[in-house]
């Protein structure tokens, strides 16, 4: 499809297990973001990839969280030793590079991966 | 440190009336502001944006106003329709840097 694709759409796991969430951005988009939305909360920034630059990891809540982006395209968010407070919808978004003069900076979001940690 | 704030968690308006959603920001480096709309179980979708060189941008029923001196922006929806009922997120970015979102305002439009 032409949009941002995320998988799995739903994941239920037991506390202490590791999970991997995948994001396929829109082809040609150089920027990729991960956000999460906990129940009743806003969009919490996690990590931002822009081209070949070092990612902005300032939003990752702990060292149990990591993300990589291979070949400037697909990204995987990994949560190790999951905790109940990790339960949330994890949203991926992509966009063109913000410095382009004609770029509105619009982010295109996937439908999210709902993570439930029991 | 909340750089983008939406202080009203919810707003209820009558169909046909104006909806006004507010947003405040603290970082003067922000030069692009966007509004997103989110329905349950879906990702946010872009609604309208405004550059810091403008003070108003209009798109159909939606208008965004920017007051840089007050570091405040607002989204006006007129006339409001029941299908506008959703969560609205304000977002801000500085070119080349990450986009920061507010906590969202849930809009209820009553028929």
Q: What is the CATH number of the domain that holds A65?
A: 2.60.40.10
- Number of structural domains chain A divides into: 1
CB count within 10 Å of CB B17 equals 13
Q: Which of B34, B103, B104 is opposite residue A106, by nearest beta carbon? A: B34
Range of A45's domain? 5-117
Q: How much is the pLDDT for A51?
A: 83
- Are B101 and A42 in contact (CB < 8 Å)? yes
Least confident of A74-78, B70-74, B97-101: B97-101
Domain B4-110 fold is Immunoglobulin-like (2.60.40)
Specify the pairing of strand A113-117 against strand B86-93.
Answer: unpaired
CB count within 10 Å of CB B77 equals 24
- Are A42 and B96 in contact (CB < 8 Å)? no
Sites in chain A below the pLDDT cut of 50: none
Q: How much is the pLDDT for A104?
A: 62
Largest Cα span, chain B? 42
Q: pLDDT above 70 covers what percent of chain B?
A: 98
- Give, in degrees to the nearest 5, the angle at Cα A42 between A61 and A112: 80
Q: Which of A43, A48, A104 is opposite residue B89, by nearest beta carbon? A: A43
d(CA B109, CA B111): 7
């Amino acid at each position: 499809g032409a949009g941002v694709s995320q998988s799995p759409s739903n994941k239920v796991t037991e506390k202490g297990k590791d999970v991997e969430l995948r994001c396929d951005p829109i082809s040609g988009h150089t920027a990729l973001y991960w956000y999460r939305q906990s129940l009743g909360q806003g969009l919490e920034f996690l990590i931002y990839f822009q081209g070949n630059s070092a990612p902005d990891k300032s939003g990752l809540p702990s060292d149990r969280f990591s993300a990589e982006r291979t070949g400037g395209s697909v990204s995987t968010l990994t949560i190790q030793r999951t905790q109940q407070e990790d339960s949330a919808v994890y949203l991926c978004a992509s966009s063109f590079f913000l410095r382009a003069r004609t770029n509105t900076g619009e982010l295109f979001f996937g439908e999210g991966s709902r993570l439930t940690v029991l | 440190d909340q750089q983008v704030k939406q202080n009203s968690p919810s707003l209820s308006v009558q169909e046909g009336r104006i909806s006004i959603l507010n947003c405040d920001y603290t970082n003067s480096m922000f030069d692009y502001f966007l509004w997103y709309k989110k329905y349950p179980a879906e990702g946010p979708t872009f609604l309208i944006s405004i550059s810091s060189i403008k003070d108003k941008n209009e798109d159909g029923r939606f208008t965004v106003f920017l007051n840089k001196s007050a570091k405040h922006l607002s989204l006006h929806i007129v006339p409001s329709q029941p299908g506008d009922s959703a969560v609205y997120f304000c977002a801000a970015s500085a070119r080349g840097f990450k986009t920061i979102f507010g906590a969202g305002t849930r809009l209820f439009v009553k028929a």
